[in-house]
Structure 1
Amino acid sequence: MSRRHGPRGKSHFFTRHSREEQQSQSSESGHGGAYSRRPPGLKGKEIGLYYRNKNREKAQKKNTQVLKLLPQVEHRIKSILNDSKIFYNVLPDKRSSFEHSNNYDYISDSQFKRKFLEIIHGDIEHNLAKAMIMESKLQKNSEMDRTLLNEYKEKQTQHDYLNMLKFRMKLPTYHKKLEILKLIEDNQVIVISGETGCGKTTQVAQFILDDQLEAGNGSITQIICTQPRRISAISVAERVAAERAERLGKSVGYQIRLEKIPSREQGSILFCTTGILLQIMKTDPALKSFSHVILDEIHERTIESDFIITLLKQILPKRPDLKVILMSATLNSESFSKYYDKCPMIHIPGITYPVQEFYLEDILSFTGFKFPEPPPEPTGYRKHLKRYKEQQHKHETFLDFILPYVRQLRTEMKYAKHVIDQLRNPNSENLSLELIEKLVRYICNTKGPGAILIFLPGIMDISKLNRMLLESGCYPSYKYIIYPLHSRMPTVDQKLIFKEPPHGVRKIIIATSIAETSITIEDVVYVINCGKTKLTRFDVNKNLQTLEPEWVSLANAKQRRGRAGRVKSGECYHLYSKAREMTFDQYQLPEILRTRLEQIILQIKILQLGKVKKFLVNIMDPPDMKTIDLSLDLLRTLNALDKDEHLTPLGYHLAHLPLDPRTGKMILWASLFSCAEPVFAIAASLTFKDAFYCPLGKEEEANRKKLELGMGQYSDHIVLAEALRRFENAHRRGNAGQFCREYFLSFNTLKLLSEMKTQFAQYLCEMKFLDSENPSDRNANRNSNNIALIKAIVCAGLYPNIAVVRRSTKQGVICWTPEDGCVRTHPSSINNKVEKFPNRYLTYFTKQRSTAIYLHDTTCISVPILLFAGPTISTRREKGKCVINNINFSENIICEPETVEVIQELQYALNTLLEYKITHPATVSWSTFEGNLLNAIIELVSQKDEEMGFNDVIGNEDNNIDEEFTDDNFD
């Protein structure tokens, strides 16, 4: 074959392109191309008719193009397909079995096949009944009970334990110990709500364990306690072990993703994330390994915690001996009690260290800060456009609550005129890192010792503020130590926040909402609450998902304030006015009501919980039925579910990956096709975020650097892979910082993405799709040079996210999607200024509405990639040719019958190979039929459109005419 299949070298995984090819996109992104112009003198309707006729001419020309494989390529692929059929022993009449049945009779028997069939044919009732007759690990053992009791009594004489006990006895929760134990004894489910600092997270599990040890029940006691975050699970476990005067791994342990120190199996407490408990329930559906389940921080209403709460309701009747304790930091315990048939509740007050609160009006008085002036109001026709109307509505809503408050402040004469003026400025509602930096400086210069904890919405805000503080020169390392804290950081870095700084050094922690609950940073005295948090929202009517900063709830604000009063009196600075606080919701909307549901549906299936809608309707706050339908449709398109809502073999593995199913499909295909590094980099960037930033005043330079990383491939996804590849090379050479500055990339984000690649490799190695946990392993990257293959894998994961390029304008590229009509490429995309594409189709991951509907990341793909990466194609016959039926676009794709047959055969062969690898897990043997089959697929997707008689260059036919697609029309 003509392609290159050698292993990736140390310095690159993409093939070198000719100088002309690499420079083509740069030259096309400028202006002045030689394009035909409309005739002069046309006006109004005449212009529309001119373009209509040109489009008709183009469509007529396009319908005469027929997609056809080169004869030698077609012959080679057919030969390989024949060999593959012989191996699989798949006869043509078995095809119906593959398409219309889930018996999978054609796959030879194996342990994995039996497990898979058990999953797709199983149900929760049968599993619970089966689990109940299985022998439990928690068996009564009198000798062990005596041993554990003696150990506990001996502990009570130890100096370290007694010292810790003195501290514990001061906690409000300790004063409720007997009442809590009595409620647990008399009821199967109880709800405990407790104020910040009451000690419920560290004490309740210990009360239960000690009570059971004293009662001689140590051998039948194992407590599992969930936390919403990794750092919480680890820090609470370490704290509880310290209070019990022992090391982790004895009566206390923890387990998080890819890291654990397990406790002993009896007479113990295991702290874990909610995700880990879900994983445990896959193999232990009745939770026979545990006597008590404690769900902490349930007020956060994550999908996972809501999911477990619903599952437990099904388990409890089968396990009357199982005790469930729900713990919430806020006073919304009534809703949980009601869900569990009005189970009893108990409330614990917090430690009453006073926390003095300051609001924006106070902070403006302290700092004298001034916000930028708002832009002038639009005039003329622009003020009637949709986006300006939305801005005007937002401004009017702001004035509705701020003007009465401002009048009240004027009457009270509490604040200076400049403070009143700033409160009326709409920009006072926006997050200002400059104000935060000025406030930090004010605290450092005027307040006593103590750490400062700053809450920000996301990692990029954290990175920017961190850089501002370091570059200001006002926070030298001998006086200040600055720690960023967010969920994507390695746990070893997260734990640094607990380290006490040297005498005379002030600690500054810049965190997301991860620091709101469950962790106590002993020396925090000052909290700066920006008032914003990043929340995922899903617009079911537009099928659009967003992740935008929003105002926190009152419950969130209370939690943040409480961080300042954990160990002594503190101060909390809210960066919003008291008037704005009055508009806050009481609690956050549950996550299940504001996000897509693909991952949770896969969990429902792997746990054998039956039909999705039937299960989800029983959740505390059931999601919209239309949201469920959209997620089911996507999973069917990805071939993760079949038409009967059963898991496919691919869906079985996607359900075991902690990823969005689309990126999960990408990394599975990457391991199969041996191009791990680039695809893992793309999947990590799409799962988390890309590492690019754009400094003010350097937008053009940043875009040029981004374009350079695109290597003429018309692909934002290739840019993501190339950026991470070059970063890792620079990191090995010791000049990663310089590289990041030159290409406007975030060092911290790239470091996280690199670590995520390794995590992916670890998962796939555990699943036996890779034979090494190293994503750079040669055997995992033999095809990492092949950009067409990488694009095909990206498209396979993102399908049906396909857009058709319509035309290029000065404002950007105009595309069309079946569900939205006209959409734009986002200004941050390297394809935004392209004037001539080699193909008309783009695949994308993120589509969001702001001033228009934007595609944020795009890759230009060929027709062979589009046809192969989508679901199994169907056709109709017209005049001896095949017309593709299932591509939902306005123009037809016409193929020679032989070409369609080859593509269909390859798709079927790949699906069969995927199922075979799942039931017989092992890496691909490239010297056998497997390698030949995959090479045939690679040859197909590597075909260029023009090689197959499909000349599809798309560009701007009139570079100077943009009136049809101006920003205003998009509004």
Structure 2
Amino acid sequence: AAEQWRLDSDERHTEVRAARAALPAHGVREELCAMLRAHRAVLVCGETGCGKSTQIPHFLLEEACRAGRGGECSVVVTQPRRIAAISLAERVAAERGGSQAGGTVGYAVRLERKCGPRTKLLFCSTGVLLRRLQSEPTLASVSHVVVDEVHERSLDSDFLLIILRDALKANPALRVVLMSATLDAATFSGYFGGCPVLTVPGRTFPITDHVVEDALEATGWAVRGKPLLRGDAAEAELAGAGEGYSESTRSSLLRLPPDGVCPAGLIAALLSHLDASRPEGHAVLLFLPGVAEIRTLARELALAPAASRWLLLPLHAELPAAEQKRVFAPPPPGVRKVVLATNVAETSLTVADVAIVLDSGRVKLAGYDAAGEYSSLTEGWVSLASRKQRRGRAGRTREGEYWALYSRAVSARMAEHTPPEMQRTPLAGLVLSILSLGLGPPGPFLARALQPPSADAVEESCRSLRLAGALDAADALTPLGAHLARMPLDVRVGKMVLYGALLGCIDPMLTIAAALSTRRSPFLTPFEQRQAADAARKPFTGEHSDHLAYLRAYEGWRGARRAGGGGAGRRFCDEHFLSHVALEELHALREQLSGVLADLGFASSTREAMEGEGEGIASVHHASLVRAIVCAGLYPNVLRARMPDTRFVDTVGGAVEAEDERGIVKFYLAERRAGGRVFL
């Protein structure tokens, strides 16, 4: 309360208060507070740019402080992406006069947190709150939970909604606020018993729309080669384009990849055209489906004649926070900022100087191959809801332009919404969480979801957990399953760590588990130095195992850093084409996993890992043990090779052994079942 009184009365804070008051969200402040006094849950539909992600949580904190309930207030805001949680916390902390997050306003995401006992407003990733529920099932110490961007329908957020609906019954003091810019209001309101809906008007500036036909026309760029669309497909594409385009544009339209990213040459030509004709301060945000596409396009754009005037900045979930923050800083004079981003830039982030959005229209979504029993990222077209979010990035702070790098005909075929992740990804980790939280049998519990997964998908996940030894025949948690449920790892990777702890091999297993769980590889392969990179990593690849290669690279880097400090570690990375950032992230995750093991009671194993007393893989015996643990953890997804029978052919000199043909060696899963053959 004293801090809030100081903020309200401090004349130096006048400018910040004025900026906040100018946001559309400020106009619904009193209505929001009144709704939460009368109802347990409220739905906030806010257009892009209305300020809901920063202001709604801030209002809740201010209201409690001014009413003398600041000591009881604890607002937790979940975000689907770590970069959004960090940037929003820092923004709200700045609004409250702090130089950075960590005091009254804080954040907690994987591998990074700035919060403490004084924190009253916590921005966190959804997974952080789910882990908190293991020790606090009813959220007794929380006054408000704000779930932002619920329209994304991630596995964690849909799971959280089921739990929150139950928590509202068990904890009468709890209030829940759901927020999104593209919300199916009736669906979510009905799920929470017909809760009231609060609509916040947007502050989006006018946006001019263009499609790839306009890009071809404006640049005069022509696609070479044979048409990729013929017959009815070609007629539909040209009919969708409409009249008014040159023959060159119409011809090029049929030569563009029908299901892929727009050619780099056209993107470079469009950037050059926009750079020459748009004001200098107008930054460009370019959406691409994944990290590989960002890196490939960045290399191509760096070769363009106008590249010296562009500041190319990547933005994706694999970047460390320090590098992600670069996109918010202004570029040097005479240089145009061009941000190459995945869908992390769709929501909750505002790059203030962006006025031009180029959208590939492509996205990579998590999926599941049931036959092979593995997760995958499948590329496809975005939904219309995601398209709206991407378009809205262009008009957040000024008039903008949106260039869809796909045709009108493609746009007409886009789905309204992306299918919820719960219906397209493995559920094994979710099943473990349900059982560890004591929420009842997984099937009936998940049947209460907003859009439940199929019963077959739930049963398949239970079956895989039984095979892994995490569930018994009655689908109850085994001791192994209880430990795995508390580990922030894939089930099979978690098994590897636990087996390593039991067999006195924890140091290498922590490294391998961290390497498999981080999103970036420690190995760098610069396009122009591939042979040199391959030669430099040979010391790590002698055992023909990716797992042991990760381990050898990390141990080499760790040894160099211990002997000569951080500078020696960086030199080691430079010499062996390793990513220092990736290895630092791997090291941080090892420390986190070591702490989890300590909490589980593996204290001696944890000390060994942290003090580096393990013998590494210096001996053949230890390397064999590492292989055995990896195999045991990944089982039953283990291959066995069936070699072909020896064949002979007659020659002038007599019978000789025939060479095997490609594809003649067949691979099968160790556990025999239908569809068990694996193709490599």
Q: For this structure pair, what is the TM-score category when the shorter chain's length is used for normalisation?
A: 0.7 to 0.9
Contact 1:593/1:624 (<8 A) preserved: yes
Q: Residue type matched to 2:626 in 1?
A: I
Contact 2:507/2:612 (<8 A) preserved: no
Contact 2:668/2:677 (<8 A) preserved: yes
Cα gap change, 1:814 to 1:253, in 2 (>3 Å)? same
Tell me what 2:436 maps to.
606
> 3-state SS of the aligned residue for 1:804?
strand
Paired residues for 1:903-918 under 5 Å: none
Contact 1:249/1:264 (<8 A) preserved: no
Tell me what 1:255 maps to.
108
Contact 2:515/2:586 (<8 A) preserved: no
- Cα distance in 1 for partners of 2:520, 2:17 equals 45
> 3-state SS of the aligned residue for 1:176?
helix
Tell me what 1:170 maps to.
22
Give the superposition deviation at 1:810.
3.2
Paired residues for 1:506-525 under 5 Å: 506-525=336-355
Give the superposition deviation at 1:523.
1.4
Give the superposition deviation at 1:672.
4.2
Cα gap change, 1:733 to 1:517, in 2 (>3 Å)? closer
Paired residues for 1:459-858 under 5 Å: 459-470=291-302, 474-476=306-308, 479-540=309-370, 543=373, 545-675=375-505, 678-687=508-517, 688=519, 710-711=541-542, 713-722=543-552, 732=569, 734=571, 736-737=573-574, 739-740=576-577, 748=579, 751-752=581-582, 755-768=585-598, 769=602, 777-783=611-617, 785=619, 786-807=622-643, 809-812=660-663, 813-817=665-669, 818-819=672-673, 821=675, 823=677, 854-855=679-680
> 3-state SS of the aligned residue for 2:419?
coil
Cα gap change, 1:607 to 1:199, in 2 (>3 Å)? same
- Cα distance in 1 for partners of 2:608, 2:148 equals 35
Give the superposition deviation at 1:646.
2.5
User: Once the two structures are superposed, what CA deviation does each residue of 1:935-964 show, in whole Å capped at 9, x if it has no partner?
Assistant: xxxxxxxxxxxxxxxxxxxxxxxxxxxxxx
Cα gap change, 1:640 to 1:185, in 2 (>3 Å)? same
Tell me what 1:303 maps to.
155
- Cα distance in 1 for partners of 2:222, 2:31 equals 53
- Cα distance in 2 for partners of 1:456, 1:363 equals 17
Of the three residues 273, 277, 299, the one matched with 1:446 is 277
Contact 1:564/1:570 (<8 A) preserved: yes
Of the three residues 323, 345, 353, the one matched with 2:205 is 353
> 3-state SS of the aligned residue for 2:331?
coil
- Cα distance in 1 for partners of 2:574, 2:303 equals 15
- Cα distance in 1 for partners of 2:201, 2:194 equals 22
Q: Residue type matched to 2:260 in 1?
A: N
Give the superposition deviation at 1:227.
1.1
> 3-state SS of the aligned residue for 1:161?
helix
Q: In the comparison of the two structures, how many residue pairs are matched?
A: 645
Of the three residues 26, 29, 43, the one matched with 1:191 is 43
Contact 2:597/2:606 (<8 A) preserved: no
Cα gap change, 1:792 to 1:270, in 2 (>3 Å)? same
Paired residues for 1:36-435 under 5 Å: 148=1, 150-247=2-99, 248-262=101-115, 265=118, 268-371=120-223, 373=225, 403-407=235-239, 409=241, 412=243, 414-425=244-255, 427-431=257-261, 432-435=263-266
Contact 2:508/2:617 (<8 A) preserved: no
Paired residues for 1:934-953 under 5 Å: none
- Greater gyration radius: 1
Cα gap change, 1:697 to 1:294, in 2 (>3 Å)? closer
Paired residues for 1:859-938 under 5 Å: none
Q: Residue type matched to 1:819 in 2?
A: R
- Cα distance in 2 for partners of 1:303, 1:513 equals 17
Cα gap change, 1:542 to 1:488, in 2 (>3 Å)? closer
RCO higher in structure (CA 8 A, sep ≥6): 1
- Cα distance in 2 for partners of 1:586, 1:406 equals 23
Give the superposition deviation at 1:327.
0.6
Cα gap change, 1:324 to 1:797, in 2 (>3 Å)? same
Give the superposition deviation at 1:624.
1.5
Give the superposition deviation at 1:738.
5.8
Q: Residue type matched to 1:780 in 2?
A: G
Contact 1:453/1:509 (<8 A) preserved: yes
Contact 1:602/1:651 (<8 A) preserved: yes
Tell me what 1:384 maps to.
none
Give the superposition deviation at 1:576.
0.8
Tell me what 1:888 maps to.
none
- Cα distance in 1 for partners of 2:551, 2:114 equals 34
Q: What is the TM-score normalised by the length of structure 1? A: 0.62
Give the superposition deviation at 1:593.
0.6
User: Once the two structures are superposed, what CA deviation does each residue of 1:855-908 show, in whole Å capped at 9, x if it has no partner?
Assistant: 4xxxxxxxxxxxxxxxxxxxxxxxxxxxxxxxxxxxxxxxxxxxxxxxxxxxxx
Give the superposition deviation at 1:539.
4.1
Give the superposition deviation at 1:758.
3.3
Contact 2:24/2:51 (<8 A) preserved: yes
Of 486-495 and 230-239, deviating more is 486-495
> 3-state SS of the aligned residue for 1:224?
strand
Contact 2:434/2:442 (<8 A) preserved: yes
Give the superposition deviation at 1:627.
1.5
> 3-state SS of the aligned residue for 1:346?
strand
User: Once the two structures are superposed, what CA deviation does each residue of 1:450-472 show, in whole Å capped at 9, x if it has no partner?
Assistant: 22222121222222223334455
User: Once the two structures are superposed, what CA deviation does each residue of 1:722-767 show, in whole Å capped at 9, x if it has no partner?
Assistant: 5666677897362645643xxxxxx55x742552243123322443
- Cα distance in 2 for partners of 1:350, 1:783 equals 58
Give the superposition deviation at 1:361.
0.9
- Cα distance in 2 for partners of 1:498, 1:775 equals 38
Contact 2:240/2:409 (<8 A) preserved: no
Q: Residue type matched to 2:111 in 1?
A: L
Give the superposition deviation at 1:704.
9.2
User: Once the two structures are superposed, what CA deviation does each residue of 1:551-584 show, in whole Å capped at 9, x if it has no partner?
Assistant: 1111111111111111111222211111101111
Seq. identity, %: 35
Contact 2:500/2:506 (<8 A) preserved: yes
Contact 1:160/1:245 (<8 A) preserved: no
- Cα distance in 1 for partners of 2:607, 2:406 equals 47
> 3-state SS of the aligned residue for 2:613?
helix
- Cα distance in 1 for partners of 2:608, 2:264 equals 39
Is 1:456 aligned to residue 288 of structure 2?
yes
Contact 1:677/1:784 (<8 A) preserved: no
Give the superposition deviation at 1:674.
4.8
Q: What is the TM-score normalised by the length of structure 2? A: 0.86
Give the superposition deviation at 1:636.
1.9
Give the superposition deviation at 1:721.
4.1
Unmatched runs of 5 consecutive residues or more in structure 1: 1-147, 377-394, 741-746, 825-853, 856-971
Give the superposition deviation at 1:715.
3.7
Tell me what 2:648 maps to.
none
- Cα distance in 2 for partners of 1:437, 1:691 equals 30
Tell me what 1:906 maps to.
none
- Cα distance in 2 for partners of 1:454, 1:193 equals 26
- Cα distance in 2 for partners of 1:235, 1:296 equals 14
- Cα distance in 2 for partners of 1:472, 1:645 equals 59
- Cα distance in 2 for partners of 1:633, 1:619 equals 21
> 3-state SS of the aligned residue for 1:734?
helix
